[in-house]
A and B are shown apart, each in its own frame.
Chain A
Amino acid sequence: MNFWEYVSTRHQQLLTDAFQHVSAVFQCMVLATVLGVVIAVLSYRSSWGGSLAITSTAMILTIPSLAAIGLLIPLVGLGVPPTVIILTLYGLLPVVRNAIVGLRGVDPSLVDAAKGIGMSRTARLCKVELPLAWPPILTGIRVSTQMLMGIAAIAAYASGPGLGNEIFRGLASLGSANAINQVLAGTLGIVVLALLFDAAYVLLGRLTIPRGIRV
């Protein structure tokens, strides 16, 4: 059976896996974005707070993902919980770092003007600082998503959802008839999905970045 025959006979399974993969990455990305922006908002004003946030999220990224997910299994069990935790934590760094850089990069005279015309702290943040920091934050989200697409494959190790299952099954049965096809289908699937995601972000950028600051 060649690769295309394999894909056409197993497309049902592949589509389900692909959908689950995307859905896991997307949901974890939303979580990571919210968490990351909150961390950035809380820490960007103090220099050590910002460094602490960036360093600690960077440290998380240095832990090998396979080891991390393995270590999580005894704590939270198999399946969805370790997947979500791993993906969210790994997705934090680019978001946190870009959000801090973006928020710090807002022209101080604009913040001064916002204060001067009587905007409250919350209004300043929501109406001025975050909208102006949004382009770099979006870039962070984009980088983060690319990364998570790959890392999500590891989730299959903890019986998580997604295309990683194809890859792991293939690797476990190397030498058998469809092993290479399985690995190939999983890998190519992830690459294609990542590209689609990226295109979606370009569109999102067009829709959400105000015309006045679009480059």
Chain B
Amino acid sequence: MSETVTGPTETPAAGTTASGATIRLENLTKSYPGNPAPAVDNVTMDIKAGETVILVGPSGCGKSTTLKMINRLIEPTSGRIRINDEDVTDMDPVKLRRKIGYAIQSSGLFPHMTVAENIALVPKMTGWSKSGVKDRVEEMLDLVGLDPREFHGRYPRQLSGGQQQRVGVARALAADPPVLLMDEPFGAVDPITRDHLQDELIRLQHELHKTIVFVTHDFDEAIKLGDRIAVLRERSHIAQFDTPEAILTNPTDDFVSGFVGAGAALKRLNLTRVRDVGIADFPTVTVEDPLQLIFDKLRDGSHNELLMLDRRNRPYKWLRRGDLMRAKGSLARAGQLVHDTVTRDATLHDALEAVLTDSGGRVAVTGRRGEFIGVVDMQTLMNSVHELLEADRLTAMEHQHDLEHLRGHQTEQELEGGGSGL
């Protein structure tokens, strides 16, 4: 019924051409002269191809520094960086960066260039043909949901914050890099636009399968976007690196649970879609049904309530048993209009919201064209949340058990090794 995402050993979605690349950080350290404590201390991290990894942590924890070491905007003091198993720590940084998309807060668009010129920068530098660049610009604008004809010749200052950010992402992706680094890209836009941009990024990632490393301090954003989340404490020490589900249900320590914040169970609701829980059937009638039939259906007992659908099968009205009587047999006045529905792609959070505001404690689920599919009520939601949390807990425990087992095994081996050395 519900799809539980397994532990961090899961491989990325098969069957798709993962255009992403693996990233491996090995003992990455950055210290600044005159400061005894390193800004980033010995970070080791494995990022799989096509995966979205979120670095999240309090401000000043070194998450941005860690990100900027991947494209060597900040040169690591020690440690190695491997992209697709190729050591890039000593590669020419300019060449390296052309293969890594980079999007930042406040979009970083060059104000003296048009939208098209901004997007064309990297393809031009990497020696694409003129017509190739031109086509690519159109394609990228299309991809991020901006009409090429309208936005082609505009200057960044003629765009809204959200549009600028879209162009920023288009520029980052223009040369089709396998890796995309995003440094708090949605930090400076208003909450509604941010929500849109996040949805857009999820859609993009669905199409493109890049390896994305995303920095944010907003844990909710991390949950929404990440395949895996690395919660960082000061000096970029990894407090926990796991799936959002695992972090929500089984934070390793007080620091992580403090960062997750209150209402982990509520946040968990954001990770599951309505399609994953039991959508119950509900007796329906349509507006075209004769009045007598509706009466009979209501009277015959098993249900106190009916859902009336309109001509196109969309939920229209809730009808209770007494409603028709009270309205003196007039269908037009009887019942309660359906004011909120959810789609199957809605999160359980949205569904709960709808259920809570509904007087009958249920919400109609609709398909793509608004047609009725079924109903979700409070009981279903509660049951599935319990199940989800239980499943998460089990996975987490298993995972922990595996880790302990592995550790025990390693110690054993080390002991044996030491023994034979004597």
B112 pairs with A117, CB closer than 8 A: no
Q: Which residues of A contact B100 (CB under 8 A)?
A: 118
Q: Cα distance A123–B113 when bound, in Å?
A: 14
A119 pairs with B125, CB closer than 8 A: yes
Say whether B411 faces chain A, with CB atoms less than 8 Å apart: no
Q: Which residues of A contact B104 (CB under 8 A)?
A: 109, 112-113, 116
Q: Which residues of B contact A123 (CB under 8 A)?
A: 125
B97 pairs with A116, CB closer than 8 A: yes
Q: A128-B110, A132-B111, A210-B112 are in contact. Are A117 and B97 (CB under 8 A)?
A: yes
**Which of A116, A210, A211 has the largest number of chain B CB atoms within 10 A?**
A116
B112 pairs with A212, CB closer than 8 A: yes
**Which of B97, B109, B112, B172 has the largest number of chain A CB atoms within 10 A?**
B112
Say whether B58 faces chain A, with CB atoms less than 8 Å apart: no
- What total count of A-B pairs have CB within 8 Å? 66
Q: Cα distance A123–B97 when bound, in Å?
A: 14
B171 pairs with A117, CB closer than 8 A: yes
Q: Which residues of B contact A113 (CB under 8 A)?
A: 102, 104, 108-110
Q: A112-B73, A212-B155 are in contact. Are A117 and B111 (CB under 8 A)?
A: no
Say whether A11 faces chain B, with CB atoms less than 8 Å apart: no
- Per-position contact with A for B77-106: 1 when CB-CB < 8 Å, else 0? 000000000000000001111111110111
Say whether B299 faces chain A, with CB atoms less than 8 Å apart: no
Say whether A16 faces chain B, with CB atoms less than 8 Å apart: no
Q: Which residues of A contact B97 (CB under 8 A)?
A: 115-118
B113 pairs with A118, CB closer than 8 A: no
Q: Which residues of B contact A56 (CB under 8 A)?
A: none
Say whether A23 faces chain B, with CB atoms less than 8 Å apart: no
Q: Which residues of B contact A173 (CB under 8 A)?
A: none
Chain B interface category by residue count: 20 to 34
Q: Which residues of A contact B155 (CB under 8 A)?
A: 210-212
Distance between A9 CB and nearest chain B CB, rounded to angstroms: 51
A210 pairs with B94, CB closer than 8 A: no
Q: Cα distance A57–B103 when bound, in Å?
A: 40
A132 touches which of B99, B105, B112 (Cβ 8 Å): B112
A117 touches which of B95, B102, B105, B106 (Cβ 8 Å): B102
Given A113-B110, A118-B100, A131-B112, 15 additional A-B pairs, CB 8 A: A112-B73, A112-B108, A113-B102, A113-B108, A113-B109, A116-B104, A116-B108, A117-B101, A117-B122, A119-B121, A132-B110, A210-B113, A212-B155, A212-B157, A213-B112
Selected A-B contacts with CB under 8 Å, 10 pairs: A112-B73, A112-B108, A113-B110, A115-B97, A116-B102, A116-B181, A117-B98, A118-B98, A132-B110, A211-B155
